Amino acid sequence: MERLRRLLEQAREFIGSQFVPDERVADEPRADLQALFRTFLKVGSTGFGGGIAVIAQIRRLVVRDKRWLTENEFLDAVSLAQSLPGANAVNAITYIGLKTAGLRGALVAASSFILPSFVIMIALTVAHNYLHNLPDAQRVFQGFNAAVVGLIAATVVRLGKTAMQNQWHLEMGVATGFMLIFTNTSIAEVVLMAGIAGIFIHSFKNRMRQRVRQKVRKQRQGTARAAVAETQARQQAAELIDNPDELAGEYQVKASLPSDNAEAKESVTPKPASEEESVNGGPAPSVPARGNSGRLSAFAWPLLWLAAIPFLSKLLAVWQLVTIFLRIGSVTFGGGFVMIPQIEADVVDVQRWLTHQEFADGMAFGQITPGPVMITATFIGFKVAGIVGAVAATIAAFLPSFAMTVIAGTSLNRFRSNYLVQAFLSGISPAVVGMLAAAGVSLARSALSTTLSFGNIPVSFGLATLAFLLMLRARLNPVVIIFGSGAAQLVISRYLLAG
């Protein structure tokens, strides 16, 4: 019997361990840093096709193969990534690293995912410096740019179907696109106005709902009170009919003395301020007089300043890059395409670091490289200040979303249940469609050229339309479409329209 009892207890423990849901200790690491680095370095090297394709690849590795997260936890990662600014894939990977190995895991996971695209973008930028003046290379780049315009247009259509659910969503998207295209409104201002509008609309809806509920509640309470009063009146009438002698003693007035419940106010005497000790300093130490070294420094300082001018100018450029991408990285809801108008305004129109064509080439490179489109910051940083500028611009572009993901990921339930946060994001969601439309228009102004035409149709416009249709209908990989457009532009301009 004792042996049978032990077998039953072991069987009960085994069955319980099989059917208990995935209970993990909150502080227990689920993956080491080396495994995170290898896994997401692989994803960053092969993550072509945009955010949706990369998210699907991450789910297969993290949920099915590695079993680091459950299905519900991965859905939390995706929903959090879409709610915050920055690249959705980077945000999701940051949350996965935070969930599996803490803050260091988040840093290792995000860095390993960005590293391959960073290296490839550096190589493409170096090649661009030598190839952009060649005629054939220019034709290929023009095909790349036309395809990117078509891909952005297809993305606007896809997001519009899901984000434009109500009338005010459509109005918000149209207003956002109009302000970014025809005015000098910045992305930060548009995001702030859209978020405030979302809070206002949700507050108005809630007030209307509360008023309707209060009205219904008052009607129900009035009906209930009338029913109770009618019942009491019938009972009193029945009692009076049964006992007519008690009619005279029915109404008695009972007076009660008012109780003195006034609370005396407590006088709060302020605490005496603590006396500060005065410190009497001694006389300043005397500075010994210098000899002839002052004359030498008078000649050395101008030479040092002249030698430091190139370094200071480069340092100033790096600082300007950091401030630009920190500001833009904080408000780029909806992915890297949203930041196109603001970056083009800062880098091309204000600072004049790049031409419009070079900027369009950088956006095309950001699309054909694996990983996030925001890696275009590496291209711009390298063009402006070399490898130091590339590193600084890349870190500044991804740092705000990384910090927000870590902060929101540590208190995910509070973030999701916060009314103001969700109302703010509900206003930004339809505005993202307008931002993408403005990005497409801004890129089309510099990317689509009318100098080369096939009949009466410019070649670049035709390639952009073809890329739009292929992306929307055929569901091809964006990299295939971009390289195909570049090859088509080269063939058409060099062979079909030669001479």
pLDDT in tens, 466-475: 988 988 887 7
- The residues, any chain, with a CB within 8 Å of residue 151's CB and separated by 6 or more, are 367, 467, 468, 471, 478, 481, 482
Say how far apart CA 195 and CA 192 lie, in whole Å: 5
Q: For the packed helices 459-469 and 478-491, what is the interaxial angle rounded to 10 degrees? A: 160
One-letter amino acid of 454 = F
pLDDT in tens, 142-163: 888 888 888 888 888 877 877 7
- CA atoms of 204 and 206, how far apart (whole Å): 5
Encode 447-498 in three state secondary structure: HCCCCCEECCEEHHHHHHHHHHHHHHHHCCCHHHHHHHHHHHHHHHHHHHCC
The ranges of the chain with pLDDT < 50 are: 1, 4, 7-8, 11-12, 14-27, 247-248, 250-257, 259-271, 273-281, 296
pLDDT for residue 278 = 46
pLDDT at 44: 87
Quote the pLDDT of residue 93. Answer: 92
Longest dimension (CA), the chain: 126
8 Å CB contact between 91 and 54:
no
What are the tens digits of pLDDT across the range 269-309?
444 544 444 444 455 555 555 555 555 455 566 666 666 66
Q: ∠ CA(486), CA(478), CA(376), 5° rounding?
A: 80
177-222 per-position pLDDT tens digit: 888 888 877 777 888 888 888 888 877 776 666 667 777 777 777 7
Q: Are strands 457-458 and 453-454 parallel, antiparallel or unpaired?
A: antiparallel
Which residues lie across from 453 on neighbouring strands? 458
pLDDT for res 383: 93
Domain ranges of the chain: 33-206+312-496
Q: Which of 64, 35, 42 is nearest to 113 (CA)?
A: 42
Asked whether the whole model's pTM tops 0.85, one would answer no
Q: What was the pLDDT predicted at 262?
A: 45
CA 47 to chain centroid: 19
What local confidence, expressed as pLDDT, does residue 18 receive?
39
- C-alpha–C-alpha distance, residues 20 and 348, integer Å: 58
